[in-house]
Structure 1
Amino acid sequence: MSTIFSRIVAGEIPCYKIAEDEKNFAFLDINPLAKGHTLVIPKAEGDYLFEMDDEAYLSLQLFAKKVAQAIEKAIPCKRIGVAVMGLEVPHTHIHLIPINRESDMIISNPKLQLPPEEMQAIAAAIAAEMK
């Protein structure tokens, strides 16, 4: 069964793409806690981060680091918060969230409602910082 994230990677569902490599994909969360809230996923389906083989796990983490560094350059913030829960979509994913205080990481906080043009501009700004 194909997850919603696999369908995004396949281009069946649109997204605000930031970057991809052979094994991983990054795109903006459509229900962001903050401007620049990004999801980083492996292209291969798998439900749980800590069940990934070591090579795939390290690849995902190194890719997430590059994306986080690009977010920091594009979005004013003090840090990039990292969250891995994995209960909402059965496909391993890492949340990268620009934060200025600890409370910015509370998942139950109200989500931002940003217009498509702003989401596209944010994705483009982060993508431009990927090196």
Structure 2
Amino acid sequence: MADARYDPDNIFAKILRGEIPCHRVYEDAHTLAFMDVMPQGEGHTLVIPKAPARGLLDADPASLAALTASVQRVAQAVKTAFKADGLTVFQFNEPAGGQTVFHLHVHVVPRREGVPLKRHEGGMADNTVLAEHAARIRAVLEGQG
């Protein structure tokens, strides 16, 4: 069985500390949302808690509540920004559950009828495209006040 402790050197912890750049979409006192660099669809966004948590089962309930509120807010903006027919929202726990970055995170992917998700290992997206996608989502969020 894998070591199930939180690793403070995971990539999302480094993003939170500003050691690795990201295309930020939304931030509040408890959460951060940014573009997935290996998107499964146009507008694929990640929402993470700022509090350390390996996954859903070890997250502090208050942090989890703040994360859920941010996921809802960001998901509404993503759907609007990309004129999506719907959304796929998912969260993985531990390697057997498909988790590859061991900091709690929620994927928000805008969807269109008949368009399948791309593979997550499909390679890094172009930074210019990610920046433009992040700007579209931020514009919707700023309009929500």
When normalised by structure 1's length, the TM-score is 0.88
1:23 aligns with 2:30: yes
Higher deviation after alignment, 42-51 or 110-119: 110-119
C-alpha deviations, 1:35-65, integer Å up to 9, x for none? 1000100011111113222211111001000
Runs of 4+ aligned residues of structure 1 deviating over 6 Å after TM superposition are none
Q: Which residue of 2 aligns with 1:117?
A: 128
SS in 2 for 1:82: strand
Deviation (angstroms), 1:99: 1.2
CA distance in 2, matches of 1:55, 1:102: 37
* Counterpart-to-counterpart distance in 1, 2:128 and 2:104: 28
The separation in 2 between residues aligned to 1:45 and 1:24, in whole angstroms, is 11
Counterpart check, 1:92 vs 2:109: no
Q: Radius of gyration: which is bigger? A: 2
Structure 1 residues 52 and 110: alpha-carbon distance in aligned structure 2, compared to 1, 3 A threshold: closer
Q: Report if the CA contact (8 A) 2:38-2:120 is conserved.
A: no
Give identity over the alignment, percent.
Answer: 32
Runs of 5+ unmatched residues, structure 2: 1-7, 94-98
Mark the runs of 5 or more structure 1 residues left unpaired by the alignment: none
2:89, 2:106 within 8 Å by CA — same for their partners in 1? yes
Q: Which of 39, 46, 49 matches 1:39? A: 46
Query: Residues 112 and 37 (structure 1 numbering): CA distance in 2 closer, same or farther, change over 3 Å?
Result: farther
- The number of equivalent residue pairs is 130
In terms of mean alpha carbon deviation, does 111-120 or 24-33 score higher?
A: 111-120
Change (3 A) 1:26 1:101: same
Report the aligned-residue RMSD: 2.0
Q: SS of 1:104's equivalent?
A: coil
